Structure 1
Amino acid sequence: MPRISCLLFATSMLVAVPALASAPAQEPAPPQKPKAPQAAPPKTATSAPQGTPEAVTSTIPETVTVTANRIPQDLSKVGSQVTVVTQRDIELLQRRDLADLLAREPGLNMVRTGGPGGTGSIFMRGVNSNEVKVRLDGMDINDPSTPAGAFDTAQFLTDGLARVEILRGPQSGLYGADAMGGVIDMTTKQGQGPLHGFVRLEGGSYSTKNQTAGFSGSLHRFHYMVEVSHNHVGDYQAVPKAIRAQVHDHDVASNRNDNRTANVRLGYDVTDNFDLGFTAHLTQADYEYVADDYSSYPALPSAQQNESDLKQAILRGTAHLKSFKGVFEQTLGVGYITYRRHDITAGDPEIASNRGDRLKVDWQGLTHLGHNGSFLVGYDYIRERILTPVSAQTTTHAAWGQLEGHWHDILFGSANIRYDNNSRYGNYVTWRVAPAVKIPGTGLTLKASGGSGFHGPSLNQLFVSYPAYYFLANPNLRAERLLGFDAGFEERLLDGKLTFGADYYGNHVRNLINTALSGYNYTYVNVARAQTHGVEAFVDYRIIKSVDLRGTYTWTDASDRSTGAALVRRPRHKATASVIWTPTKRLSIMPSLLYVSGWHDLDRYTSMNTIGHDYVTVNIAAEYKLAKFLTLFARGDNLGNRYYENPVGYLQPGRSFYGGVTFGL
Structure 2
Amino acid sequence: MYYKAALLGAVALSGVTPAFAQTDDTDTTKLDTIIVEGSRLEQPATEMGSSVSIITADDISRLGFDFAGDAIAAAPGVTVNQNGTFGGTATVRIRGASSEQTLVLIDGVPVNDSTAPGGGYDFARLDTENIARIEILKGPQSTLWGTDAIGGVVSITTKEPEKRLAGSAFGEYGSFNTFRGGASIGNSGDAGDFRVALTGMSTDGISRADEQNGNTEDDGFDSLTASAKAGLNLPSNARLSATLLWNDAETEFDSFDGTAQGSVADGDESSETGQLSGDISLKAPLFDGRLENLLLVGYAQIDRKNFTNGTESFSTDGDRVVYRYQGTLNIDDRNKMAFGAEREDSSADGESTWINGLFALYEYKPVESLTLTGGLRLDDHERFGSETTGRVAAAFNPTEQVTLRASWGQGFKAPTIFQTTFFCCGATGPNAGLKAETSEAFDLGADWRSRDGRAEAGITYFDQTTDDMINFAFAVGGYENIDKVNSRGVEAYAGYQFTSWLGVAANYAYINAEDGTGTKLIQVPEQSGDITFSLDPDGPLSGAVLVRYNGEEPAFDGSTSDAWTRVDLTGRYQLSNGVEVFGRVENLFDEDYQQILGYGTPGLSGSVGIRLHY
Q: Does residue 364 of structure 1 match 2:364?
A: no
AA partner of residue 609 (structure 2): G
The residue number in structure 2 matching 1:154 is: 124
C-alpha distance in 2, partners of 1:586/1:139? 39
> Which of 472, 476, 488 lines up with 1:533 in the alignment?
488
1:204 aligned to which of 174, 180, 185: 174
1:326 paired with 2:289, answer yes
**Superposed displacement of residue 94, structure 1:** 1.4
2:357 to 387, 391, 398: 398
Please give the alpha-carbon distance, in whole angstroms, between the structure 2 residues aligned to 1:526 and 1:482: 13
Structure 2 unmatched runs, 5+: 1-19
Offset of residue 474 of structure 1: 2.4
Candidates 432, 443, 453, aligned match of 1:496: 453
**Aligned counterpart, 2:431:** 474
Q: Is the 8 A contact 1:436 1:445 kept in 2?
A: yes
CA contact (8 A) 1:414 1:435 kept: yes
What is aligned with 2:304?
341
| Equivalent residue runs for 1:264-303 within 5 Å | 264-293=228-257
SS in 2 for 1:212: strand
Q: Secondary structure at the match of 1:541?
A: strand
RMSD: 2.0
Give the counterpart of 1:661 among 568, 592, 610: 610
Paired position in structure 2 for 1:599: 553
Structure 1 619/225 Cα, relative in aligned 2: closer, same or farther at 3 Å? same
1:235 deviates by: 3.0
Say if 2:188 is the partner of 1:224: no
Asked if 1 retains the 8 angstrom alpha-carbon contact of 2:261 and 2:597, the reply is no
Pick the aligned partner of 1:645 from 582, 594, 598: 594
**Bigger CA drift: 431-440 or 565-574?**
431-440
Does residue 309 of the first structure (1) align with residue 258 of the second (2)? no
How much does 1:72 deviate? Answer: 2.9
Q: Does structure 2 retain, via aligned residues, the 8 Å contact 1:214–1:225?
A: yes
**8 Å contact kept, 1:104–1:576:** yes
Out of 350, 374, 379, the position equivalent to 1:420 is: 379
Q: CA deviation at 1:373?
A: 2.9
Measured against aligned partners, the alpha-carbon deviations of 1:551-609 in whole angstroms (never above 9, x if no partner) come to 10000000012x1110101100011111221112422211111001000012xxxxx21
Paired residue secondary structure (1:640): coil
* Structure 1: distance between partners of 2:170 and 2:211: 34
CA shift digits 1:197-249 (9 cap, x unpaired) = 111011101111011111112133211111101111213123224421xxxx5
Q: Tell me if the contact between 1:415 and 1:432 (Cα under 8 Å) persists in the aligned partners.
A: yes
Q: Distance in 1 between matches of 2:507 and 2:197?
A: 32
* 2:532 counterpart residue number: 578
Q: Does 1:184 align with 2:154?
A: yes
Q: Give aligned pairs, total.
A: 591
> Within 1, Cα distance between the matches of 2:411 and 2:233?
37
Aligned with 1:288: secondary structure?
strand
**Which residue of the partner structure matches residue 42 of structure 1?**
22
Residue 437 of structure 1 corresponds to: 396
Question: Offset at 1:293?
Answer: 4.5
- What amino acid is aligned across from residue 393 of structure 2 in structure 1? A
* 2:21–2:56 Cα contact (<8 Å) kept: no
Inter-partner Cα distance in structure 2 for 1:301 and 1:179: 32
Q: Quickly say closer, same or farther: Cα 1:43–1:267, change in 2 above 3 A.
A: farther
Any idea what SS the aligned residue of 2:612 has?
Answer: strand
Equivalent residue letter for 1:315: G
Contact kept? 1:96, 1:158, Cα under 8 Å: yes
Aligned-pair CA distance for 1:301: 5.8
Contact 1:65–1:84 (8 Å) recurs in 2: no
**Residue of structure 1 in register with 2:467 after alignment:** 510
Shift of the 557–293 alpha-carbon distance from structure 1 to 2, 3 Å rule, reads closer
Aligned 8 A contact 2:500 2:537 in 1: no
1:279-314 deviation digits (Å, cap 9, x = unpaired): 0000000001223456x6778766542010000000
Q: Does 1:547 align with 2:502?
A: yes
Distance in 1 between the 2:132 and 2:412 partners?
A: 29
What is the CA–CA distance in structure 2 between the aligned matches of 1:218 and 1:406, rounded to whole Å?
Answer: 36
Match of 1:3 in 2: none
Q: Secondary structure at the match of 1:653?
A: coil
1:43, distance to aligned residue in structure 2 (A) = 6.1
Matching residue's letter, 2:452? D
SS in 1 for 2:559: strand
Match for residue 580 of structure 2?
Answer: 631
Q: Does 1:558 align with 2:513?
A: yes
Tell me if the contact between 2:38 and 2:155 (Cα under 8 Å) persists in the aligned partners. no
2:73 to 103, 114, 120: 103
Distance change (3 Å), C-alpha of 1:61 and 1:498: closer
Aligned match of 1:263: 227
- Quote the residue 2:570 is aligned against: 621
Deviations 1:605-624 (A, max 9, x none): xxx21100000001111111
Cα 1:644/1:270, change in 2 over 3 Å = same
What is the deviation of 1:475?
A: 4.1
Q: Are the aligned partners of 2:262 and 2:597 in contact in 1 as well (CA < 8 Å)?
A: no
Kindly state the Cα deviation for residue 473 of structure 1 after the two structures are TM-superposed: 2.8
The separation in 1 between residues aligned to 2:44 and 2:261, in whole angstroms, is 54
Structure 2 letter corresponding to 1:615: W
User: For the Cα contact (< 8 Å) 1:43–1:85, is it kept in 2?
Assistant: no
Counterparts of 1:618 and 1:140 in 2: how far apart (Å)?
34
Amino acid at match of 1:353: S
Q: Give 2:440's aligned residue.
A: 483
Q: Check if 1:116 corresponds to 2:78.
A: no
Q: Residue 460 in 1 paired to residue 415 in 2?
A: no
Displacement after TM superposition at 1:180 (Å): 1.2
The code of the aligned residue for 2:299 comes to: Y
> How high is the TM-score relative to the length of structure 2?
0.93
Alpha carbons 2:169, 2:183 under 8 Å: kept: yes
TM-aligned CA distance change 1:577 to 1:517, over 3 Å: closer
Task: Provide the residue aligned with 2:205 in structure 1.
Answer: 235
Instruction: Give yes or no for contact 1:176–1:420 (8 Å, CA) kept in 2.
Output: yes
3-state SS of the aligned residue for 2:600?
coil
SS of match in other structure, 1:544:
coil
Counterpart CA distance in 2 for 1:663 and 1:471 is: 61
Q: Give the SS at the match of 2:386.
A: strand
Instruction: Classify 1:508/1:298 alpha carbon distance in 2 versus 1 (closer, same or farther; 3 Å).
Output: closer
1:246-273 CA-partner distances (Å, limit 9, x unpaired): xxx5xx4211000000111101111242
1:359 and 1:164 mapped to 2: Cα distance? 22
Deviation, 1:101, is: 1.2
Q: Percent identity?
A: 27
Deviation sequence 1:352-373 (CA, Å, 0-9, x none): 1111100100000010022113
Contact 1:514 1:525 in 2 (8 A): yes
Unaligned runs of 5+ in 1: 1-39, 46-59, 603-607
Output the CA distance in 2 between the equivalents of 1:466 and 1:261: 37
The 3-state SS of whatever aligns with 2:133 is strand
Matching residue within 451, 473, 478 for 2:409 = 451
Q: Compared with structure 1, are the counterparts of its residues 303 and 180 closer, same or farther at alpha carbon in structure 2 (3 Å cutoff)?
A: closer
Cα gap change, 1:332 to 1:569, in 2 (>3 Å): same
Corresponding position of 1:84: 54
Contact 1:243–1:300, Cα closer than 8 Å, also in 2: no
Cα–Cα, structure 1 residues 598 and 301, in superposed 2: closer, same or farther, change >3 Å? closer
